[in-house]
Structure 1
Amino acid sequence: MTVLTEGAPVETAAPAPRRRIPVVRIVLPLLSVAVFLAVWQAVAAAGLWNETFVPQPITVWRAAVDMSSTHDGVVGYQGYLLWEHLYMTLRRVLAGVAVGVTLGVALGVAMGTVGWLRSILEPWLTFLRTLPPLAYFFLLVIWLGIDEAPKVTLLALAALPAAAIATTTAVAAAPIGLVEAARALGASRAQVIRDVVFPAALPETFTGVRLAVGMAYSSVVAAELFNGLPGIGGVVKDASNYNNTPVVLVGIAAIGISGLVIDGLLRAAERRAVPWRGKI
């Protein structure tokens, strides 16, 4: 765009067009949800299975409403509303993820830059990553009791390996040319790691963080096996004891939907922190 001034015309940059979200990215997910609900309703209405196993969507919706309100003097589920259960679970997950991701990223940077340290720690991280949460949760209960400590510790241990391994791989794969150029310009080892290696590793590190959050979420029910109320995992465990399938499905939906929201927030943070990712 040309702007006329008293002297020669001055070329100014045209405003960047706003990015528009394609309609298909909104319609397709909503369409998939509608198809899923229709198939679910059809299967439930066909009566192929007892409603204890496959309740109708409206039954699950009523359970969600009951869990979110006070009715006949009963507050939600086991004395807590649905949002209170979800809040306690998210608090545990975020605390565990914060500890696990912080330690995992720090270990990943150290392992990616110090070869002998990677040789020592990587087998242990792989060993921990392959263990199911229940394999060591009872040990944590023996050591730490049945309060919040074993729950947060379990979620941290679930999140740590994914963050550490992804960061290690990303740091080790930092462009050699950039590293050598920084060293040639007089940068110290710490400056190379801070200004070259870590920024180059950020995209894969974010992927590891997202995987770590997913691992922590997959361990929620195990973490809330003991003294898990209030908590969504505790709700799922308690309701399953009484074959209360609608409440179990509400709990599963609450975990899944909140996980989608958190993953969306992580994606948004990634786009801001690593705007060059996916661009040529």
Structure 2
Amino acid sequence: MSTAPAVSDVLREEADGEPAGPRRRARGQLLTWSGRLVLPFGSLLLFLLGWQAVSASGTWSETLVPPPAKVWDAFVDVSTTHDGVRGYNGTYLVEHLGISLQRIAFGAGIGIVLGVLVGLVMGTIGWVRSLLEPWITFLRTLPPLAYFSLLIVWLGINEEPKITLLAVAAFPPVAVATTTAVAAAPRHLREAARALGASHREVVRDVVLPSALPEIFTGVRLAVGVAYSSLVAAELVNGLPGIGGMVKDAANYNNTPVVLVGIAAIGISGLVIDGLLLWLERTVVPWRGHA
């Protein structure tokens, strides 16, 4: 098959003074980015239209399915001072969210650090993995509400049980991902490093850890998601101020618009944090392919 450029491409190059190949690539990248922007916004628009249609149909009462306009009004109310009331329960939405994010940062951060350290040990020492893996699996299968009451009995109703719950929820995904990735590190690279005189610590630091980083980041992203899913449970008791506490308190009074505002705030902030983690992964682990 001939590899000569098409006549039309040559004519365009001569007319424009620019190679057709780079121009096609740039156009393809523009279309790709356009699709990545249009599709999410299109799906959001369809969701809002469907939501409005369902709420306007009268099938369910507005208490159960409030229209988007009422949810927007609730968002404005909890974000500003209205009728002398500051936000929700004296706290703005952004402040509720900020306090919850601090709890997630401390709790999930502790669980992630412990998960990486324990996973490194389990992945390199077989008997430690045999000893701890059943317990981590047992912990991973427990729903947060199963042990939150016990944490309250042990630690009180202040911040300690909330931070501990988020740490316990975030620990297993990171530990499992790190253990699997460390155990799967290429054996020939480890043996080559030992043959060159590297110590066990140097092998772990320079060979095993870089090889395991992609899966560790996957575990971290899963851990943050699990911590977010445990947020409302963590703020069931004495959770105000806090976005999960706001959702729980509003649900007690059938204030569905505020509940939906809180759910949207949790979901959107979770998307932002996951995007930041994905960007960090691409920066730290550039050799891993991304779509």
Say whether the fold is shared (TM-score over 0.5): yes
1:171 aligns with 2:179: no
Deviation at 1:212, TM superposition (A): 0.2
Task: Measure, in 1, the Cα distance between the counterparts of 2:282 and 2:36.
Answer: 17
Q: What residue in structure 1 maps to residue 22 of structure 2?
A: none
Following superposition, the deviation at residue 113 of structure 1 comes to 0.2
Is 1:66 the counterpart of 2:72? The answer is no
**Structure 1: how far apart are the matches of 2:114 and 2:71?**
39
Q: Is 2:119 the partner of 1:108?
A: yes
Aligned-pair identity (%): 68
Give the whole-Å Cα distance in 1 for the aligned partners of 2:41 and 2:212: 34
Residue equivalent to 1:35? 46
- Measured in 1, the distance between the counterparts of 2:192 and 2:58 equals 69
Q: What is the distance in 2 between the residues matched to 1:176 and 1:24?
A: 42
Alpha-carbon offset, residue 22 of structure 1: 1.9
Structure 1 partner of 2:57: 46
What is the correspondence of 1:67-106 to structure 2 with a 5 Å cutoff?
67-106=78-117
The residue type paired with residue 185 of structure 1 is L
Q: In structure 2, the residue corresponding to 1:22 is in which secondary structure?
A: helix
Structure 1, unmatched stretches of 5+, are 1-16
1:23 aligns with 2:34: yes
Offset of residue 27 of structure 1: 1.1
Q: Which residue number corresponds to residue 241 of structure 2? A: 230
Q: Which residue of 2 aligns with 1:264?
A: 275
Q: Which has the higher helix share?
A: 2
Which residue, out of 149, 153, 167, partners 1:142? 153
Q: 1 CA distance for matches of 2:284 and 2:39?
A: 28
How many residue pairs are counted as aligned between the two chains?
A: 263
Corresponding position: 1:207 with 2:226: no
Distance in structure 1 (CA, Å) of the matches to 2:180 and 2:40: 33
Q: RMSD over aligned Cα, in angstroms?
A: 1.3
Amino acid of the residue matched to residue 188 of structure 2? Answer: G
Residue of structure 2 in register with 1:245 after alignment:
256
The alpha-carbon deviation at position 223 of structure 1 amounts to 0.3
Letter in 2 for 1:158: A
2:115 counterpart letter in structure 1: G
- Using the size of structure 2 for normalisation, the TM-score is 0.89
Q: Deviations over 1:163-202 (max 9, x none)?
A: 0000000000001111111111111110000000000000
What is the aligned partner in structure 2 of residue 192 from structure 1?
203
Question: In the alignment, which residue of structure 2 is the partner of 1:3?
Answer: none
CA distance in 2, matches of 1:26, 1:179: 43
Q: Which amino acid aligns with 2:137?
A: T
Return the alpha-carbon distance in structure 1 between the equivalents of residues 205 and 219 of structure 2. 19
CA distance in 2, matches of 1:148, 1:229: 11
AA aligned opposite 2:168: L
Corresponding position: 1:181 with 2:192:
yes
User: Is there any run of 5+ residues in structure 2 with no aligned partner, and where?
Assistant: 1-24
Partners in 1 of 2:38 and 2:129 — Cα distance?
Answer: 45
Cα offset, 1:87, TM superposition? 0.6
- 1:14 paired residue number: none
Which residue of the partner structure matches residue 138 of structure 2? Answer: 127
For 2:252 and 2:82, locate their aligned partners in 1 and report how far apart those are by CA, in whole Å. 23
Q: Deviations over 1:45-93 (max 9, x none)?
A: 1111111110000100100000000011011111111011001100001
| CA shift for structure 1 position 247 | 0.5
Question: What do the CA deviations read for 1:178-232 (whole angstroms, capped 9, x no partner)?
Answer: 1111111111110000000000000000000000000000000000011100001
- Could you tell me which amino acid in structure 2 is paired with residue 209 of structure 1? V
Question: C-alpha distance in 1, partners of 2:281/2:174?
Answer: 15
Distance (Å, rounded) in 2 between the aligned partners of 1:120 and 1:42: 55
State the Cα deviation string for residues 237-270 of structure 1 (Å, max 9, x = none).
Answer: 1011111100100010000000000000000000
Distance 2:265 2:116 in 1: 28
